[in-house]
């Protein structure tokens, strides 16, 4: 049966705070702090368990091979893998941090997904994102594509390689979809940024248009993100807006032309509901600090909608008050749940960053990428045994750490009987 599946990124053993993402304020604030990869991964698994407990289907994607020795060889380092890692860490720590990043954990950036109901050929189309605007992320897409091609190898899917790097594409973090039901035809909304502000715009309009053409999507809108929001730290649209079913939940300053977007939606999908949070109630600063909108907006089995938010939202007074009024009202969002993903939040990614939404029949997905309680138990045991407890700045040049990181991923692949 066709349904929405949330594929979360399993947080990798190299999770560290290197502050590589310009415009991501949380990442910048925690640059140089000590990370806790084991706790981070366990927090992510706990969130997946929570979503499963709501009665929803849950999948997961695996951390990429880090540090990326192939990238370091391209940058001129030679020798055995261990020699390459040691030389790069000693000679160019910033470059080495680029190769060691665990940022693939944020699978909202892995790809853009158009469900079969939206496409000309009736297949679910998935395009890996090139992430070309940030060096540490731009090296992800070959491995990401290989993993997506394996997980979605069934003919019901069409998995595409990334667009050319000249056209920055950040995947589902700048994409929303409105629909009456997940398996019904929807309105796809591609959000792009304009250049020239304080921080770089990540999503290029031509990239969004190319994805829509490639996927065979005709019912699409192309919408400019507010430069005010980008400059305030909303480096992706999903920091200030999220959609699910017939509901679009957004900050007042999320879009450059919110009135135009509302009119377009009303014309294309008259039953859509636009839930707007006014800046007078919740400032952009509080929205971004708390990741109010970087939450998972989910349709539960009984047809109601719920938000899964980070604990930081509950701890921000303006956000907590607004959410209390929201769920007490007569609107479509009836519940707000708070989860602890602090390790991810401190690096700039909330609950929505950690997941990629795929509308499909789970029976068509490689079962090794689907989660149940037994698989969650297996993942937790692996993480507790293999993941480093902590990584601080001084640890980045420690050869033993990188041997441990490599061994952890090898153990994970062996446990799941995967070769990537």
User: pLDDT of 263-322, one tens digit each?
Assistant: 999 999 999 999 999 999 999 999 999 999 999 999 999 999 999 999 999 999 999 999
CB-based contact 165:138 (threshold 8 Å)? yes
pLDDT at 22: 67
Band (pLDDT 50/70/90 cuts) for residue 43 is: very high
Whole-number pLDDT of residue 49: 98
Residue 360 CA to residue 236 CA, distance in Å, equals 25
The residues annotated with a catalytic role in the active site are: 170, 236, 353
CA nearest neighbour of 51 among 370, 384, 418:
370
Q: List the chain domain ranges.
A: 3-66+101-416
In this predicted structure, what is the pLDDT of residue 233?
86
pTM for this prediction: 0.96
Burial of 32 (0-12, 13-18, 19+ CB in 10 A): exposed
Per-residue pLDDT tens for 173-225?
A: 999 999 999 999 999 999 998 766 677 778 999 999 999 999 999 999 999 99
State residue 356's pLDDT score.
98
What would the CATH number be for the domain defined by 3-66+101-416?
Answer: 3.75.10.20
pLDDT of 168 reads 95
Q: What is the structure's pLDDT at 194?
A: 72
pLDDT of 275 reads 97
* % the chain with pLDDT above 90: 90
Question: What is the model's pLDDT at position 147?
Answer: 98
pLDDT tens digits for 73-114?
A: 999 999 999 999 999 999 999 999 999 999 999 999 999 999
Among residues 94, 92, 55, 81, which one has the least CA distance to residue 337?
55
Residue 212: partners with Cβ closer than 8 Å, 6 or more residues away? 114, 188, 190, 220, 222
**How does pLDDT run across 224-271, given as a tens digit for each residue?**
999 999 988 888 899 999 999 999 999 999 999 999 999 999 999 999
């Amino acid at each position: 049966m066709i349904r929405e599946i949330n594929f979360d990124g399993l947080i990798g053993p190299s999770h560290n705070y290197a502050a590589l993402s310009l415009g991501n304020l949380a990442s910048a604030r925690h640059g140089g702090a000590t990370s806790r990869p084991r706790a981070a991964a366990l927090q992510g698994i706990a969130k997946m368990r929570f979503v499963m407990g709501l009665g929803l289907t849950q999948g997961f994607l695996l951390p990429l091979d880090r540090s990326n020795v192939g990238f370091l060889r391209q940058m001129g380092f030679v020798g055995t893998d261990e020699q390459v890692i040691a030389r790069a860490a000693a000679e160019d720590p910033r470059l080495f941090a680029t190769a060691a990043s665990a940022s693939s954990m944020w699978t909202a950036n892995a790809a853009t997904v158009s469900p079969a109901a939206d496409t000309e050929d009736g297949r679910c189309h998935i395009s890996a994102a090139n992430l070309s605007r940030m060096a540490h992320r731009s090296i992800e897409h070959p491995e990401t594509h290989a993993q997506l091609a394996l997980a979605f190898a069934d003919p019901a899917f069409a998995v595409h390689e990334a667009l050319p790097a000249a056209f920055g594409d950040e995947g589902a973090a700048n994409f929303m979809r409105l629909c009456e039901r997940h398996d019904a035809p929807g309105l796809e909304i591609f959000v792009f940024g304009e250049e020239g502000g304080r921080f770089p715009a990540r999503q290029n309009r031509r990239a969004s248009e190319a994805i829509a053409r490639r996927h065979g999507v005709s019912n699409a809108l192309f919408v400019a993100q507010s430069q005010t929001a980008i400059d305030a730290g909303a480096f992706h649209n999903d920091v200030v807006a999220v959609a699910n079913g017939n509901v679009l939940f957004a900050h007042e300053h999320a879009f450059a032309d919110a009135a135009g977007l509302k009119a377009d939606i009303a014309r294309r999908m008259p039953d859509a509901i636009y839930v707007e949070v006014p800046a007078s109630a919740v400032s952009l600063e509080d929205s971004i600090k708390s990741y109010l909108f970087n939450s998972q907006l989910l349709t539960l089995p009984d047809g109601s909608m719920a938000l899964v938010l980070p604990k930081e939202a509950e701890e921000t007074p303006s956000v907590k008050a607004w959410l209390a009024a929201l769920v007490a009202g007569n609107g479509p969002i009836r519940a707000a749940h708070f989860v602890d993903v602090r390790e991810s939040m401190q690096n700039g990614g909330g609950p929505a960053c950690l997941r990629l939404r795929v509308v499909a029949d789970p029976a068509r997905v490689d079962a090794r990428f689907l989660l149940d309680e037994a698989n969650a138990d297996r993942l937790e045991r692996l993480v507790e045994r293999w993941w480093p407890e902590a990584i601080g700045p001084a640890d980045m040049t420690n050869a033993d750490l990188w041997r441990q990181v490599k061994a952890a991923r090898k153990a994970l692949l062996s446990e799941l009987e995967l070769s990537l």
